[in-house]
């Protein structure tokens, strides 16, 4: 294992993301998410999203996953 200095950029971003420590122990759930979605938002909206997630005690990713799952339910799921 090589030692990296503070703020070193990963050589392989995908491996770095998959190896990230999850303080809540949800690494098994993270494996189920295999796609990344990138959207453009204004800095103001980004700030509001982050504040709302913090107030709810959630991560931005978890909050947005729930929002998207509710807006686009799987077939057979209740709307």
Residue 47 lies in a domain: yes
Residue 40 lies in a domain: yes
Torsion angle of the four alpha carbons 24, 53, 14, 74, in this order, in degrees rounded to the nearest 10: 90
Note the pLDDT tens digit of each residue in 32-73: 667 788 999 999 999 999 999 999 999 999 999 999 999 998
Residue 53 lies in a domain: yes
Output phi, psi for 52, to 5 deg.
-60, -45
Cβ contact 70:63 at 8 Å: no
Note the pLDDT tens digit of each residue in 1-26: 566 556 666 677 676 666 655 555 55
User: Which residue range forms the structural domain that includes residue 61?
Assistant: 32-73
Domain count, the chain: 1
The pLDDT assigned to 66 comes to: 92
Instruction: Specify the CATH number for the domain of residue 48.
Output: 1.10.1220
């Amino acid at each position: 294992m090589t030692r990296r200095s503070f703020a070193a950029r990963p050589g392989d971003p995908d491996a770095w993301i998959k190896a990230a420590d999850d303080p809540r122990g949800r690494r098994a759930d993270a494996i189920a998410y295999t796609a990344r979605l990138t959207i453009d938002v204004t800095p103001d909206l980004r700030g509001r999203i982050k504040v709302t997630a913090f107030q709810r005690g959630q991560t931005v990713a978890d909050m947005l996953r729930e929002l998207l799952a509710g807006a686009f339910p799987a077939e057979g799921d209740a709307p």
